[in-house]
A and B are shown apart, each in its own frame.
With several copies, the nearest count.
Chain A
Amino acid sequence: MSTSTTGSSPALGVARVLHDPLRVRLSGRGGQGIILAGTMLAEAAMEDGLYVVQTQTYGPEARLGASKSEVVISSREIAFPEVSVPDLVLCFSRDAYLKYGKQVTPDGFILLEETIRQEVPDARGHFLPFRRTARELGNDLSLNVIALGALVGLTQAVTRDSLRKALKARMKPEFLELNERALEIGFELGGAVPQNV
């Protein structure tokens, strides 16, 4: 019996789509919230009415090493789920940069945690103080939310409102307020990056 390919067909959304499909890669080391960030980004895109696939590569080895989470966002059904060359890259750690953070499409963006600059002097991309900001905010763990905010603040990959909704849906109530603040700070951080596209 022949069955249909997917069961879903969302209406085309409103987000400004740089590329269609738009391929985003988030990377860092275990514990930095990469996968949660990917999930929230995907949910925001979904909220925007787009098709989305989120995948992840991690391993027991990757608990310390590099892991990545990829999100493909499109107005059409998405066939190939992984990302060969990303349009947007977010990167939190040295190892992740070395493994996943160097490649990007010509008009894409690479956003890097500031401290990578010290460890990899020739690293290329936009450096933003995710870690420091998180610490200042009082919670190291909001690193990923700040960075996600920055990504969206810069690129409008998804709408801010959708991302706010996604954050609300995924966060435990006790951490929500803090992270809502983190997100707004992230939007600002990202919005301030000079757009050379």
Chain B
Amino acid sequence: MRLVQGNEAVALAAVHAGCNFYSGYPITPATEIMEMMARQMPKTGGVFIQMEDEIGSIAAAIGAAWGGAKAMTATSGPGFSLMQENLGYACMTQTPVVVVDSQRGGPSTGLPTLPAQGEVMQARYGTHGDHEVIVLTASSVVEAYRMTVEAFNLSERYRLPVILLLDAVLSHMRENVEFPDVPVRERVMPTIDENFLPFGPDAPFVPFGSGHHTVVTGMSHDETGLPKALAGQAVQRILRGVQDRLAHDAREITFYHEMELADADIVLLTYGITARAAREAVGLLRADGVKAGLLDLQTLWPFPEWLILEKTQAAKAVLVPELNLGQYVIPVRAAIAGRCPVESLGRCDGELFTPEAMVEAAKALAHSLEIGGVAHD
């Protein structure tokens, strides 16, 4: 049992997951991850490098991945925006790399030390062009640890950049934790022959220096990696292929918690730090006779439509509290497609929702829909 800060947990988890390359550029509230990696990497024989900016940080991480490392970088909003171009490069080149974004108030410099969830959509759509990414989030120090390890595991498994979204509160929060022993997906170097297709379906990730002279390009390319004719179709095939694999494995890659969903009239759908108040709110609501339940997502993208549909089947309303003006609520609404009302509860002033604020919103929603158990006062 140790008292550990959120950012510290991420760094420790990365080391546990086999991370042996960290490149970064300081920014509040993510900096402690970098500072911890500056101490950890030399000790474990890994590489730490402070780059000239965030563009260089993610570029170096991708380069390191192709050099054979498990690579990570961490940043916050402004840096995350700068990383977008090269994040797309990682998608296009199917490079495993882990990117942590600790969200602070935005846009621009915004509220550098206060929490937000303003990058939920940016994490999915921030880079130009079609692409798939995996986006995880966490609401406690121990979960930050677990999700960091899973981020590495998923990035290895799917050869994709995986984004972990934290926020200013979680990054700086300390909790007493016992770290779970999360299994690590080790990278195995496959035996390859001259017919090896480095970008074939399900092809393993084979770094440089392996003997296969791989070509890695952000241009459209076919399974050999070369930018050839009909590249448009080739890239569509690759992008759709990734989409299909993720859809196929949806149940394995969707991490979530649930609470009292069986008979819930009102489902609170949360992610990240907001889940904590929601847990308390569900208790308070139940105590007040409102049948509330909680679906708390750790996997935000690929969008777990199947799960949301499954878990809200019997719901009479869904409430989506977010530290933004209503982002994730949109795909949720699209998924639920009118089967019940989906209400947004948003704020972007750098403050958390208290459990009481959620209770109030849930009650108002129940009231307006005349859902039983709410005193009509």
Interface residues of A (CB under 8 A from B): 1-8, 10, 38-39, 42-43, 45-46, 51-62, 65, 78-82, 84, 99
Those of B236-290 within 8 Å (CB) of chain A: 251-258, 273, 276-277, 279-280
Instruction: Tell whether, in the assembled complex, residue A80 and residue B354 are in contact, meaning their CB atoms are under 8 Å apart.
Output: yes
Those of B325-373 within 8 Å (CB) of chain A: 352, 354-356
B146 an interface residue at 8 Å Cβ cutoff?
A: yes
Which of A1, A42, A81 is within 8 Å of B169, CB to CB?
Answer: A81
Instruction: Tell whether, in the assembled complex, residue B174 and residue A42 are in contact, meaning their CB atoms are under 8 Å apart.
Output: yes
Task: Determine the residue in chain B with the shortest Cβ distance to A52.
Answer: B176
- B143 contact set on A, CB distance < 8 A: 3, 5-6
A-B contact pairs, 9 of them (CB 8 A): A7-B177, A39-B3, A42-B176, A43-B176, A53-B173, A57-B113, A60-B28, A65-B229, A80-B276
Which of A1, A7, A78 is within 8 Å of B180, CB to CB?
Answer: A7
**Distance between Cα atoms of A59 and B114 in the complex (Å):** 8
Instruction: Tell whether, in the assembled complex, residue B112 and residue A55 are in contact, meaning their CB atoms are under 8 Å apart.
Output: no
**Distance between Cα atoms of A99 and B230 in the complex (Å):** 11
17 additional contacts (CB under 8 A) given A59-B113, A80-B352: A1-B252, A2-B258, A3-B143, A6-B140, A7-B146, A8-B175, A39-B3, A42-B176, A55-B173, A59-B112, A60-B28, A79-B276, A80-B276, A80-B277, A81-B276, A82-B354, A99-B229
Instruction: Tell whether, in the assembled complex, residue B1 and residue A46 are in contact, meaning their CB atoms are under 8 Å apart.
Output: yes
Instruction: Tell whether, in the assembled complex, residue B176 and residue A79 are in contact, meaning their CB atoms are under 8 Å apart.
Output: no
Instruction: Kindly provide the distance from the CB of A23 to the nearest chain B CB, expressed in whole angstroms.
Output: 13
Instruction: Tell whether, in the assembled complex, residue B180 and residue A80 are in contact, meaning their CB atoms are under 8 Å apart.
Output: no
Known interface pairs A5-B140, A42-B3. Does A79 touch B279 (Cβ–Cβ under 8 Å)?
A: yes
Known interface pairs A52-B176, A54-B173, A56-B172. Does A7 touch B3 (Cβ–Cβ under 8 Å)?
A: no
Task: Count contacts on B: residues with CB < 8 A to the other chain.
Answer: 41
Instruction: Tell whether, in the assembled complex, residue B177 and residue A6 are in contact, meaning their CB atoms are under 8 Å apart.
Output: yes
Those of B121-147 within 8 Å (CB) of chain A: 140, 142-143, 145-146
**Distance between Cα atoms of A133 and B245 in the complex (Å):** 57
- A58 contact set on B, CB distance < 8 A: 113
B178 an interface residue at 8 Å Cβ cutoff?
A: yes
B227 an interface residue at 8 Å Cβ cutoff?
A: yes
Q: Which of B172, B257, B273, B356 has the most CB of A within 10 A?
A: B172
- A61 contact set on B, CB distance < 8 A: 227
Interface residues of B (CB under 8 A from A): 1, 3, 28, 112-114, 140, 142-143, 145-146, 169, 172-180, 227, 229, 251-258, 273, 276-277, 279-280, 298, 352, 354-356
Instruction: Tell whether, in the assembled complex, residue B174 and residue A39 are in contact, meaning their CB atoms are under 8 Å apart.
Output: yes
- B356 contact set on A, CB distance < 8 A: 84
Task: Determine the residue in chain B with the shortest Cβ distance to A54.
Answer: B174
**Distance between Cα atoms of A60 and B370 in the complex (Å):** 47
**Distance between Cα atoms of A43 and B3 in the complex (Å):** 6
Instruction: Tell whether, in the assembled complex, residue B176 and residue A10 are in contact, meaning their CB atoms are under 8 Å apart.
Output: yes
- B276 contact set on A, CB distance < 8 A: 79-81
**Distance between Cα atoms of A105 and B171 in the complex (Å):** 28
Q: Which of B113, B256, B258 has the most CB of A within 10 A?
A: B113
Task: Determine the residue in chain A with the shortest Cβ distance to B299.
Answer: A1
**Distance between Cα atoms of A10 and B1 in the complex (Å):** 8
**Distance between Cα atoms of A34 and B257 in the complex (Å):** 34
Instruction: Tell whether, in the assembled complex, residue B175 and residue A52 are in contact, meaning their CB atoms are under 8 Å apart.
Output: yes
- A52 contact set on B, CB distance < 8 A: 3, 174-176
- B255 contact set on A, CB distance < 8 A: 1-3
Instruction: Tell whether, in the assembled complex, residue A80 and residue B113 are in contact, meaning their CB atoms are under 8 Å apart.
Output: no
**Distance between Cα atoms of A7 and B252 in the complex (Å):** 20
Instruction: Kindly provide the distance from the CB of A124 to the nearest chain B CB, expressed in whole angstroms.
Output: 22
Task: Determine the residue in chain B with the shortest Cβ distance to A72.
Answer: B175
Known interface pairs A42-B174, A61-B227, A79-B277. Does A3 touch B112 (Cβ–Cβ under 8 Å)?
A: no
Which of A5, A46, A60, A81 is within 8 Å of B3, CB to CB?
Answer: A46
Which of A6, A39, A54, A82 is within 8 Å of B352, CB to CB?
Answer: A82
Which of B140, B146, B169, B257 is within 8 Å of A55, CB to CB?
Answer: B169
Known interface pairs A52-B175, A53-B173. Does A60 touch B142 (Cβ–Cβ under 8 Å)?
A: no
Instruction: Tell whether, in the assembled complex, residue A60 and residue B112 are in contact, meaning their CB atoms are under 8 Å apart.
Output: yes
- B173 contact set on A, CB distance < 8 A: 53-55, 81
Q: Which 4 A-B pairs have the closest CB atoms?
A: A79-B280, A46-B176, A59-B113, A54-B174
- A99 contact set on B, CB distance < 8 A: 229
- A80 contact set on B, CB distance < 8 A: 276-277, 280, 352, 354-355
**Distance between Cα atoms of A3 and B255 in the complex (Å):** 7
**Distance between Cα atoms of A134 and B137 in the complex (Å):** 43
Instruction: Tell whether, in the assembled complex, residue A60 and residue B113 are in contact, meaning their CB atoms are under 8 Å apart.
Output: yes
- B169 contact set on A, CB distance < 8 A: 55, 81-82
**Distance between Cα atoms of A55 and B114 in the complex (Å):** 12
Instruction: Kindly provide the distance from the CB of A153 to the nearest chain B CB, expressed in whole angstroms.
Output: 22
